[in-house]
Amino acid sequence: MTVSRASMAEDGFEFSRLIAGFWRLKDWGMNDQEVLAFIEQCLELGITTMDHAMVYRSEEPFGRALALKPELRDRMEIVTKCGIRPVGFGKLGAKAVNHYDSSPKHIVASVEQSLRDLKTQYIDLLLIHRPDYLMEMEEIAEVFDRLESSGKVRNFGVSNFTTHQFAALQQACDHKLITNQVEFSPYNMGALDSGVFEQAQAYGTGPMLWSCLAAGQLMTGADEKAKRIMAAVNIVKEEVGASCAEQVIYAWVLGLPCNPFPLLGSSKIERIRQAASSEQYALTREQWYRIWEASNGAAVP
Amino acid sequence: MTVSRASMAEDGFEFSRLIAGFWRLKDWGMNDQEVLAFIEQCLELGITTMDHAMVYRSEEPFGRALALKPELRDRMEIVTKCGIRPVGFGKLGAKAVNHYDSSPKHIVASVEQSLRDLKTQYIDLLLIHRPDYLMEMEEIAEVFDRLESSGKVRNFGVSNFTTHQFAALQQACDHKLITNQVEFSPYNMGALDSGVFEQAQAYGTGPMLWSCLAAGQLMTGADEKAKRIMAAVNIVKEEVGASCAEQVIYAWVLGLPCNPFPLLGSSKIERIRQAASSEQYALTREQWYRIWEASNGAAVP
Amino acid sequence: MTVSRASMAEDGFEFSRLIAGFWRLKDWGMNDQEVLAFIEQCLELGITTMDHAMVYRSEEPFGRALALKPELRDRMEIVTKCGIRPVGFGKLGAKAVNHYDSSPKHIVASVEQSLRDLKTQYIDLLLIHRPDYLMEMEEIAEVFDRLESSGKVRNFGVSNFTTHQFAALQQACDHKLITNQVEFSPYNMGALDSGVFEQAQAYGTGPMLWSCLAAGQLMTGADEKAKRIMAAVNIVKEEVGASCAEQVIYAWVLGLPCNPFPLLGSSKIERIRQAASSEQYALTREQWYRIWEASNGAAVP
């Protein structure tokens, strides 16, 4: 059984429902062969979508691994992000002040570097990483056009945008923004009430979801809230017969009606394999709300 | 003088401007004859719209009273709600975890029980009681279609929805959602700034308003804020020559420009009668803002 | 070098990019000749747009000065506002309770007094000063029509409106609302996240910005936050070679991509002159985010 596939928007371009996140690839301590093996195992599980960003410094090691077996490129979709410029990132970084930059010049320069580092001819999905208060909507629309017609980028989206920011950029763009990648987990449920999920449904897009395990806070039961959530997760785990808590958390996230695409973040292929089975656990509403209630600290009103 | 009538949306279906709320009917200690007498007195006052919900457990006693004089059915509009499933409500409730359920299966089951309990062939207005994070917009749209074409429900709306939730569901529905029933009182003025009233105006719908007396907190002057509000209400009461504070509070709520339909909640027909006269007191802007200022704790900026 | 000119909306009606604010004219201690001299010096700098409001009590002294040289009228655009009714403002004020009033009757009466006080035949831009919870959108639309066709008012807008309020009023109005005048400064950055700027871009309007120096709190370094901001402003001042901190602050505000029109508030023509040169300092993104970061208290995430 492999992970299912779906379009984020109605254009037919498919991604894997669960996405391999390479946020921490630099910290995984893998050599190129090990990265390659990890990628191949993901692909075997049906996890074909690979999430990167310039600021993760994940593209270069990923690209080296991919160069060992270039024929894998056609079997995957690569997502990457641009627009954050922190100190310490060379020409794409900042001189003195961490900032956002969604100018055409920076977007193009970042994409060019991503292509070089990833050792690929195209990016499947490019995201503006953070909402830049100085973004010129029309200019972004125009650079998206150029990147698309040159064949360098196939789809566009954003990350961490408010509903207002998404609506304004979408209005300026001919290209459909196919996703808004936002944080969501049983620990951080803010997106349930901010309108981003309802906007995704109204616009017919599918949000990518980052930090679904709350950066480890959930699995380690870091505080009272995390402990409450994990207690509820474990009850549901028994009920559905899942083999680990992570499966239940991903199943909970996948229960959202907004066509969500959760990111995985682990370097352990065994944990990836377990997560890849999450789709088989469709939680009942009582199970879903049990975890919501544990996070909320009180039952639904 | 009887209570006026108005459409919530532009479709011409009329409700009474003031609505009898049966939230606490179970606690009123009335026998069927007494409920019937209460209903008839409401109708005489022009209060023809009756607000229920599955979770109020008000439908069954109301239906028994109605069965004593079935010809009253055509003289009233019945509103009821579905979608909350708490523990202790049999098949329509929860097994273990209070939750929301706006699945077609539950909506239909809830409507069927409402029809049986209310001893009626149709519901004039069905509301989704709370925004279910798991609601599938398209499925709700489809079940609304079925309920309408079967003649079981004549109008549809929601309750306690944010603007994002309302917009997304309305976009998915062919049926116009004719109301969003939200909390509003001089004590709880959040709806003034949340956008729900402006959205109602932009969509051409009329919000129903619950807990206009803040569940009794206002009348009992429960805290400093309630005391400030009641002091202002009493000044206005003298100015307009109203006979009780409740008339002023309902007149204040009726002053909203968004075509509001306040719910009454009392079991005392005398208080209902007094509230029914509220429409005659059109507050001046100074009177309206006096009460707003008392609640806000400071004058307008 | 004079201040540039631009349309707020796409209708071609031009204002000066920097606007003279007469909020405190009553406190400036100027006689009519001095006010006239101030106005003439503003005009020479290209600052042709003059911002008033009924409640500033600035119109009458401004009008007396203008009467000394009526030919200046055609060289300026006058903005004024209506709709706040505080105690102590005669017939246009309140009897007892400060309140908002956007009734047609009050709007017309306020415009008539503004025309008399300003000694002019027309107002270039009329703003609803604050969002009145009791505003009847259709009535406002209708009175705007009347004021426009009578030649008394040439453009319309609002001030301090939320996105919901702006959208609802715009939907009711045939006239384009060309601006939402809101508070914005490095000290008060709330508008960056409230959606009003994105809405301005989506609707193709240009926000006017009030209190860009945070009513003096910035220049006096009133607290730790103000001190942090001023330290950052001074670094940028050195980098760009500006002659004063105010130039940097206005350049920072002008850096917004939403077609902003900042108000100046000083009575000192020398400070106005310096502010008028702000447009020449286009901040880099690092400079812009340095000031944002100082206000935020932490770098961008």
The pLDDT tens digits of the residues spanning C27-86 come to 999 999 999 999 999 999 999 999 999 999 999 999 999 999 999 999 999 999 999 999
Residue B112, min C-alpha distance to chain A (Å): 21
Please say whether the beta carbons of B165 and A258 come within 8 A.
no
Domain presence at residue A24: yes
The pLDDT tens digits of the residues spanning B226-253 come to 999 999 999 999 999 999 999 999 999 9
Q: Please give the residue of chain C at the shortest CA–CA distance from B289.
A: C99
Q: Please give the residue of chain A at the shortest CA–CA distance from C291.
A: A97
User: Cα dist. C160→C89, C128, C208, C288, C290 in Å?
Assistant: 21, 9, 10, 25, 27
Chain-chain contact of C285 with A101 (C-beta, under 8 angstroms): yes
What gap in Å lies between CA A165 and CA B179, rounded to an integer? 28
Domain presence at residue C60: yes
pLDDT average, residue stretch B70-93: 98
The pLDDT tens digits of the residues spanning B172-190 come to 999 999 999 999 999 999 9
Residue A287, min C-alpha distance to chain B (Å): 8
- Is the pLDDT at B296 greater than 80? The verdict is yes
Give residue A60's identity as a one-letter amino acid code. E
- Is the pLDDT at A127 greater than 80? The verdict is yes
Domain presence at residue A297: no
How high is the pLDDT of residue C222? 84
Q: Give me chain A's average pLDDT, please.
A: 97
Chain-chain contact of B135 with A257 (C-beta, under 8 angstroms): yes
- Is the pLDDT at B11 greater than 80? The verdict is no
Which of B55, B81, B97, B136 is the mutation pick for testing A, counting most A CBs within 10 A? B97
Query: Rounded to 10 degrees, what is the CA torsion of C27, C30, C35, C38?
Result: -90
Greatest Cα-to-Cα distance within chain C, rounded to the nearest angstrom:
56
Domain presence at residue A101: yes
Chain A residues with CB under 8 Å of C288 CB are 99, 133-134
How high is the pLDDT of residue C300? 97
Chain C residues with CB under 8 Å of B194 CB are 164
How high is the pLDDT of residue B12? 80
Residue B86, min C-alpha distance to chain A (Å): 9
How high is the pLDDT of residue C11? 73
How high is the pLDDT of residue A197? 98
Q: Give me chain B's average pLDDT, please.
A: 97
The pLDDT tens digits of the residues spanning B24-36 come to 999 999 999 999 9
Find the angle CA(A93)-CA(A95)-CA(A97) to the nearest 5 degrees. Answer: 90
Which of C164, C171, C188 is the mutation pick for testing B, counting most B CBs within 10 A? C164
Chain-chain contact of C201 with A133 (C-beta, under 8 angstroms): no
- Is the pLDDT at A46 greater than 80? The verdict is yes
**B208 — pLDDT class (breaks 50, 70, 90):** very high
Strands (E), A17-89: 19-21, 49-51, 77-82, 84-85
How high is the pLDDT of residue B144? 98
Q: Please give the residue of chain C at the shortest CA–CA distance from A165.
A: C198
Catalytic positions of B are: 56
Strands (E), chain C: 5-7, 14-16, 19-21, 49-51, 77-82, 84-85, 99-100, 125-128, 156-159, 177-183, 208-210, 261-264
Domain presence at residue B157: yes
Domain presence at residue B68: yes
Residue C131, min C-alpha distance to chain B (Å): 10
Chain-chain contact of B168 with A300 (C-beta, under 8 angstroms): no
Closest Cβ–Cβ partner in B202, B292, B301 for C168: B202
A204: containing domain: 5-220+253-281
User: Cα dist. C17→C253, C274, C287 in Å?
Assistant: 11, 14, 21
Chain-chain contact of C195 with A162 (C-beta, under 8 angstroms): yes
Q: Note if A122 is an active site residue.
A: no
Domain presence at residue B149: yes
Domain presence at residue C254: no
- Is the pLDDT at A11 greater than 80? The verdict is no
Residue A2, min C-alpha distance to chain C (Å): 35
In total, how many domains does chain A have? 1
Give DSSP secondary structure letters for C177-227.
Answer: EEEEEEE--SS--THHHHSHHHHHHHHT---EEE-TTGGGTTTTT-SHHHH
Chain-chain contact of B301 with C135 (C-beta, under 8 angstroms): no
The pLDDT tens digits of the residues spanning A155-184 come to 999 999 999 999 999 999 999 999 999 999
What gap in Å lies between CA C101 and CA C110, rounded to an integer? 10
Chain-chain contact of C256 with A137 (C-beta, under 8 angstroms): no
Interface ipTM > 0.90: yes
pLDDT average, residue stretch B142-165: 98
How high is the pLDDT of residue C239? 98
Give residue C132's identity as a one-letter amino acid code. D
Strands (E), A161-300: 177-183, 208-210, 261-264
- Is the pLDDT at A72 greater than 80? The verdict is yes
List the CATH number of the domain containing C265.
3.20.20.100
**A10 — pLDDT class (breaks 50, 70, 90):** confident
Please say whether the beta carbons of C82 and C107 come within 8 A.
yes
Across the 301 residues of chain C, what is the mean pLDDT of every consecutive 10-residue run? 93 93 97 98 98 98 98 98 97 97 98 98 98 97 98 98 97 95 98 97 96 92 94 98 97 98 96 96 98 98 95
Residues 6+ apart with CB under 8 A from C44: C2
Chain-chain contact of B95 with A286 (C-beta, under 8 angstroms): yes
- Is the pLDDT at A235 greater than 90? The verdict is yes
